[in-house]
Amino acid sequence: MATTTVENYVKRIYLLAEPETDAFVSPGALAAEMSVSPGTVTTMLKGLAKAGLAEYEPRTGVRLTAGGETLALRMLRKHRLVEMFLVSVLKLDWAEINEEAELLEHAVSDRLLEKIDAFLGSPAHDPHGDPIPTAGGKIVRRNLVRLAGCEPGKRVRIACIRRQDAPFLRYILDNGLTPGEYARVVATDTEADVLRLSLANGTELTLGGKAAAEIEVEVISGKRA
Amino acid sequence: MATTTVENYVKRIYLLAEPETDAFVSPGALAAEMSVSPGTVTTMLKGLAKAGLAEYEPRTGVRLTAGGETLALRMLRKHRLVEMFLVSVLKLDWAEINEEAELLEHAVSDRLLEKIDAFLGSPAHDPHGDPIPTAGGKIVRRNLVRLAGCEPGKRVRIACIRRQDAPFLRYILDNGLTPGEYARVVATDTEADVLRLSLANGTELTLGGKAAAEIEVEVISGKRA
DNA sequence: AAAACAATTTTGATTAATCAAAGTTGACGC
DNA sequence: GCGTCAACTTTGATTAATCAAAATTGTTTT
């Protein structure tokens, strides 16, 4: 059985890898993501390779094997179903469920997970808009674009919040930018690196490029309503 | 912060200690309960003492300090509320919730725990009949007797199942001996070490002394109905 | 009291995860 | 084509939890 630490490394590697690519994830990127020293990552990657969960190329990086990807998707399924459960059933604070799920995902058995899935009616996405892998390990990718790249006039529906830290999520929540909400891009300014948004409730707000890049949307129409 | 292992040791020490007594728990008993070697327990007890969670007297045993008892009661509260939640909300198999709760209790934050408590309406007992400590660390002890000691003719209500292994719990469940059920002691035989029980649904069954000692009951009447 | 025994502690080792600091390496700039 | 530097790996050490096997101790038994 994989330890909690191994589960976390494999999950992070999966999330750092470009989807549909077979590129290697660099040790440095992983070290930053896991908040550990570079040497620790090197040691761990050798371990993952020996366990058959990943291929490790010294000075290049790491790539999950089929087995590693299966484990990563299982962890992602646990994490996201648990998040969904915490929000819809236990009414935990939307901005804090990520931290709770980070702990719980390692303690939820497959047996329990499927009960949770059934209870929730097999949702397709978690509260942040991320897709929930199926029990069979399939993940349905939607055709989303980053809000940062949207042109003025476009009407969009917020689909997914990529950054999961509590302060950012709190901002999203407080400003009505949660998945499912509608908005219109009023103006963009490349030089100033800002994007101006008009929300369904009539309010307007301005986002910096970095924040707007963390929000994925569905484009509803190419022109203003 | 206490590790998962420390949490488990402290909980076990609490459960092995005679309630209301200040007797020491022997290292050997703990080793058996934790399924570790005696030497491991010695090492751990020194650690618990250094952490201020227990007093350790070499060759005598261990006793929780006030801090250790607080931690033990917190773990018990988590364990039992989680069990209750798994049964009432997620409909997990009554006989298997102990195993699941054993894992989950270490991953449930205090914040989440109180949400679960509120969701359940602050139950006083878990599905096996064990009392759930309050958030303040108080435990309400009921006046129960072991079924094994009951005399023929007594009407009883099943209150608490002490043994928590799945096969035993499955037997209890399959035979309608779950907490809340009523029964009457039909006959006892000290020499044969058996006790004959008549249930509310009309069936009768015979328990050995060891099994009957693991079932705690409330006595409803001293004489037959 | 000495021997025997059972429980407990010590000792020496192992595994997993980590760090800091020293050593390598490969690519990039000049 | 050679030095420099950032990224990566190695090395040596630490902490937590564990074991097996040897040493100790306290209590029975004879």
Mean pLDDT of B79-92: 98
CB burial class (10 A; 0-12, 13-18, 19+) of residue B191? exposed
Structure confidence at residue B71 (pLDDT)? 98
Q: Which tokens belong to B217?
A: 């009951």
- Where does the pLDDT of residue A10 fall: very low under 50, low under 70, confident under 90, or very high at 90 and above? very high
For residue A7, the tally of other CB atoms under 10 A from its CB is 20
Mean pLDDT of B145-161: 95
Q: What is the per-residue DSSP string for B80-123? A: HHHHHHHHHTT---TTTHHHHHHHHTTT--HHHHHHHHHHHT--
- Where does the pLDDT of residue B139 fall: very low under 50, low under 70, confident under 90, or very high at 90 and above? very high
pLDDT score of B224 more than 70:
no
| B115, B117, B119, B120: best to mutate for the A interface, most A CBs within 10 A | B115
Q: Which tokens belong to B218?
A: 């409330």
Write the pLDDT tens digit of every residue in B32-47: 999 999 999 999 999 9
pLDDT score of A153 more than 50:
yes
Cα-Cα end-to-end distance for chain A: 54
* Interaxial angle between packed helices A38-50 and A27-34, expressed in degrees from 0 to 180 and rounded to the nearest 10: 110
Higher pLDDT, B137 or B22: B137
Mean pLDDT of B115-124: 98
Average of per-residue pLDDT values in chain B: 95
The whole-angstrom separation of Cα A53 and Cα A64 is: 6
Report CA A95 to chain centroid distance, whole Å. 14
Q: Which tokens belong to B172?
A: 């209890």
- Where does the pLDDT of residue B21 fall: very low under 50, low under 70, confident under 90, or very high at 90 and above? confident
Write the DSSP symbol of residue A124: S
Write the DSSP symbol of residue A164: -
Interface of B with A in 78-107 (CB under 8 A): 86, 89-92, 96, 100, 103-104, 106-107
Closest chain A C-alpha to B103 CA, distance in angstroms: 5
User: For residues A122 and A151, is the Cβ–Cβ distance under 8 A?
Assistant: no
Mean pLDDT of A109-114: 97
pLDDT score of B94 more than 60:
yes
The whole-angstrom separation of Cα A196 and Cα A191 is: 13
Burial per residue of B161-173, b for 16 or more beta-carbon CB atoms within 10 angstroms, e otherwise: bebbeeeebeebe
| Nearest beta carbon to residue A115 from set B92, B104, B112 | B92
Question: Cα A5–A7–A8 angle (5° rounding)?
Answer: 65
Tell me what percent of the residues of chain A surpass a pLDDT of 70: 98
The whole-angstrom separation of Cα B177 and Cα B218 is: 13
Closest chain B C-alpha to A116 CA, distance in angstroms: 7
For residue B176, report the phi and psi dihedrals to the nearest 5 degrees.
Answer: 65, 35
Q: What is the nearest nucleotide to B45, using C1' and CA?
A: C9
| Nearest beta carbon to residue A91 from set B90, B104, B115 | B115
For residue A136, report the phi and psi dihedrals to the nearest 5 degrees.
Answer: -80, 0
Helical spans, DSSP H, in chain A: 4-16, 27-34, 38-50, 66-88, 97-104, 110-120, 166-174, 209-213
The whole-angstrom separation of Cα A215 and Cα B112 is: 28
Structure confidence at residue B222 (pLDDT)? 59
Q: Which tokens belong to B95?
A: 């006989």
pLDDT score of A223 more than 80:
no
Structure confidence at residue B225 (pLDDT)? 41
- Where does the pLDDT of residue A20 fall: very low under 50, low under 70, confident under 90, or very high at 90 and above? confident
For residue B204, the tally of other CB atoms under 10 A from its CB is 12
Write the DSSP symbol of residue A92: -
Mean pLDDT of A140-155: 94
Domains and CATH numbers, chain A: 4-64 (1.10.10.10), 78-141 (1.10.10.10), 145-221 (2.30.30.90)
The whole-angstrom separation of Cα B131 and Cα B140 is: 7
pTM of this structure: 0.93
Tell me if A106 and B107 make a contact (CB, 8 A cut-off): yes
Structure confidence at residue B18 (pLDDT)? 79
Cα-Cα end-to-end distance for chain B: 54
User: For residues A188 and A152, is the Cβ–Cβ distance under 8 A?
Assistant: yes
Average of per-residue pLDDT values in chain A: 95
Q: Which secondary-structure segment (H or E) carries B161?
A: strand B155-161
Tell me if B109 and A103 make a contact (CB, 8 A cut-off): yes
Write the CA distances from A223 to A84, A150, A185, B216, integer angstroms. 34, 12, 10, 72
Residue in chain B lying closest to A119 (CA):
B90
CB burial class (10 A; 0-12, 13-18, 19+) of residue A136? exposed
For residue B220, report the phi and psi dihedrals to the nearest 5 degrees.
Answer: -90, -45
Structure confidence at residue A18 (pLDDT)? 79
pLDDT score of B146 more than 60:
yes
Which is it for strands B54-57 and B61-64: parallel, antiparallel or unpaired?
antiparallel
Structure confidence at residue A225 (pLDDT)? 41
Write the pLDDT tens digit of every residue in A62-103: 999 999 999 999 999 999 999 999 999 999 999 999 999 999
Write the pLDDT tens digit of every residue in B176-223: 999 999 999 999 999 999 999 999 999 999 999 999 999 999 999 755
Asked whether residue A3's C-beta has any atom of DNA/RNA strand D within 7 A, the reply is no
